[in-house]
Amino acid sequence: MAPTKTQGQPRGTIQGSVQSGLVDFSIRAVPLPTDVTNFLSANMTTLKRLHRDRRSAATVDDDVAAADEVSIEGAEVVVTPEDFWPKLEQLLQKAGREWAGLADQIWAFGPRRVGPNMLIDRTEGAPRS
């Protein structure tokens, strides 16, 4: 295996700095467990619905459009919005020690807030959005 890009840090770590040092940060990229990826891709609609509830239940007419995106991963279960977080938690638990308990630290999904990638807040202090 090639050496890590950042010396002395776990694989995937990038330490960046912008605005000539005003802000510096460290981000580690890790592949998601396949189960979690599949679950997230299958449940994009669910996530979208969760986000939509949040933006006040305005007139919801893109249900039809959303229905097209369901079941790209035919085998994966599509859960109801209420079941989303418990199920995700369970999958993360199953994925191993590194992932267990991360459900509450998820900052965002992406792209477009519903995709099969996640940004996880591991900074100290209060949790982020």
Find the part of the chain contacting other proteins (CB under 8 A) among 47-55, 59-67, 69-77. Answer: 47-55
Identity of the residue, 19 or 59, whose beta carbon is nearer to other proteins in the bound complex:
19
Find the part of the chain contacting other proteins (CB under 8 A) among 62-70, 72-80, 108-116. Answer: 108-116
Residue 80 has which token pair?
Answer: 């109801």
Q: State yes or no: residue 3 binds other proteins (CB under 8 A).
A: no
Contact call for residues 105 and 119 (beta carbons, < 8 A):
no
Q: State yes or no: residue 87 binds other proteins (CB under 8 A).
A: no
Distances (CA, A) of 88 to 22, 73, 84, 91: 36, 16, 6, 5
Closest CA to 15 of 1, 25, 2: 25
Return the DSSP state at 2. P
Residues in the site for other proteins, rule: CB under 8 A?
Answer: 13, 19-32, 34, 36-37, 41, 50-51, 53-57, 81, 85, 103-113, 115-123, 126-129
